[in-house]
Chain A
């Protein structure tokens, strides 16, 4: 059961535990994490579940897929090198302790 920390723009943190195999976006939504909008419900259609993966883990999380990569050019908040759509990140025990930053805006 990996634990993930969502850090808001104002610095507050929300620790969420989810089963391995859960999609990061769903873990956020199921726990009421503010700032993950996920309008499309996790179908890579809307780019409103954007997160910045903390630098120390970004290699482990991996790069975005092709479609996701193109979509990241149109997130509401600026794209950064560690930007990902959280609906495309599957949690595993290896990601236990992952920190992701929630951007200022999603829509």
Chain B
């Protein structure tokens, strides 16, 4: 079935890497090309905001050594992203001017940071974090920064806040919403998380808008709706927008992400797939179409498309999970919660650990944990297997105990 044009993957992040490594592991022997915008070997992004700055010799984040690509006959084109897509001719044009034909095209273009829409955002000393180069820049800035203002109380903002605090800076987090992580965690869990950050020494200002950044050439202060904060470094993380211009310009359906079907094929052209942060897709755990930004989603979607092209199609239904290391707080989420779910907050015997269980029609749909990886893993096992768990099932016990009992029962049968 393989014709010479093969598979072209646009994007050298975790999702794109997952596509090509899975293609080869699944026995696909046609041509495989990756067009990556950045000059670096494909690397892991999660460590960039968590600990990469603190490593004295620079972060070691590459996914695999360079030899991996040669050994598997993968044409990895670094620093040569795709600038045009012609779906009728089934070709792409790279920045270097090469035209490549494809049988299957996979868009793994990721997302860009939402820009900070205030005066002064272009001042020196103001940074967003997405790439390895961004992480290195912020890491260097933290060597001398004294007053750090973090704009945005989401995953990246809180991770960076704790990194900056550990480096000795005074840190203020400014969040527009009335709570931290308002899109990611339940209102029941949030006060406990906030308390940990404040106890560690992070100043948290919620319900506060950033109005301007001011300074002479370099940022010196942040003007907010509740006063002026001194700042010699501002980092912001206020959400991401999918990189879907290529698809839109090519006439593919786009709606805050490339719209794909349950097998992650473009609804406009089945020879084009989209995976990772740039894909908007149906999911059995979601109502309507969703776009997920997580390393799990990038890996699993890439693998699904790799296997499909190699001859084993399937619908995408991996359980979504997320994690964030924020100083001494390890936040993990399994499943997708919606605002109308009932949340049960359960502290463990250990005061450091906490779980929030979300129920929909008395059925467990998502679990948020603080510093409790075993409970998180148990939640994943139960949710993946669609094991019904009600609030009554959790009275006086843990998911860990339920999952172990379930596992024992499986072994017996």
Could you tell me which A residues sit within 8 Å of B by CB distance? Answer: 26, 29-32, 34, 39-47, 67, 70-71, 73-74
- Whether B325 and A71, one on each chain, are in contact in the complex, defined by CB atoms closer than 8 angstroms, is no
Q: Contact at A41–B46, with CB atoms within 8 Å?
A: yes
Query: Is B377 close to A, CB under 8 A?
Result: yes
Interface residues of B (CB under 8 A from A): 25, 44, 46-47, 50, 60-65, 67-68, 71, 295-296, 299, 323, 325, 330, 332, 373-374, 376-378, 380-381, 400, 403-404
Q: Whose C-beta in chain B lies nearest to the C-beta of A22?
A: B60
Bound CA span A26–B57, Å: 15
Question: Which residue of the partner chain, among B44, B67, B373, B403, contacts A32 with CB atoms under 8 Å?
Answer: B67
Other-chain contact of A67, B60, B296, B373 (Cβ < 8 Å)? B373
27 contacts between A and B (CB under 8 A): A26-B60, A30-B62, A30-B64, A34-B25, A39-B299, A40-B295, A40-B323, A41-B44, A42-B47, A43-B50, A43-B325, A43-B330, A45-B373, A46-B323, A47-B377, A67-B373, A67-B374, A70-B373, A70-B400, A71-B374, A71-B377, A73-B377, A73-B378, A73-B400, A74-B374, A74-B378, A74-B380
Instruction: Report whether over half of chain A's contact residues are helix, strand or loop; otherwise say mixed.
Output: loop
Question: How many angstroms from the CA of A10 to the CA of B238 in the assembled complex?
Answer: 47
Tell whether, in the assembled complex, residue A74 and residue B377 are in contact, meaning their CB atoms are under 8 Å apart: yes
Are A71 and B64 closer than 8 Å at their CB atoms?
no
CA distance A44 to B325 in the complex (A): 10
Nearest neighbor of B299 in chain A, beta-carbon distance: A39
Query: What's the dominant secondary structure at chain B's contact region?
Result: helix
Docked Cα-Cα span, A70 to B63, in Å, equals 27
A-B interface, 4 closest residue pairs, ranked by CB to CB distance from nearest: A70-B374, A74-B377, A45-B323, A41-B44
A41 to B46, CA, bound (A): 7
In the complex formed, the residue of A with least CB distance to B61 is: A41
Q: Which residues from A are CB-within-8-Å of B403? A: 74
Residues of A within 8 A of B50 (CB): 43
Interface centre among A29, A31, A41 (most CB of B within 10 A): A41
Known contacts: A30-B65, A39-B295, A74-B403. The answer to whether A45 contacts B330 by CB under 8 A is yes
Is B332 a contact of A45 with CB atoms below 8 Å? yes
Find out whether the CB atom of B330 lies under 8 angstroms from the CB atom of A73.
no
Cα distance A20–B295 in the bound complex, in angstroms: 29
Beyond A30-B60, A40-B295, A43-B46, 6 additional pairs, beta carbon < 8 A: A29-B64, A41-B47, A41-B295, A43-B330, A46-B323, A70-B400
Which residue of A34, A40, A44, A70 has the most chain B CB atoms within 10 A of its CB atom? A40
CA distance A45 to B325 in the complex (A): 9
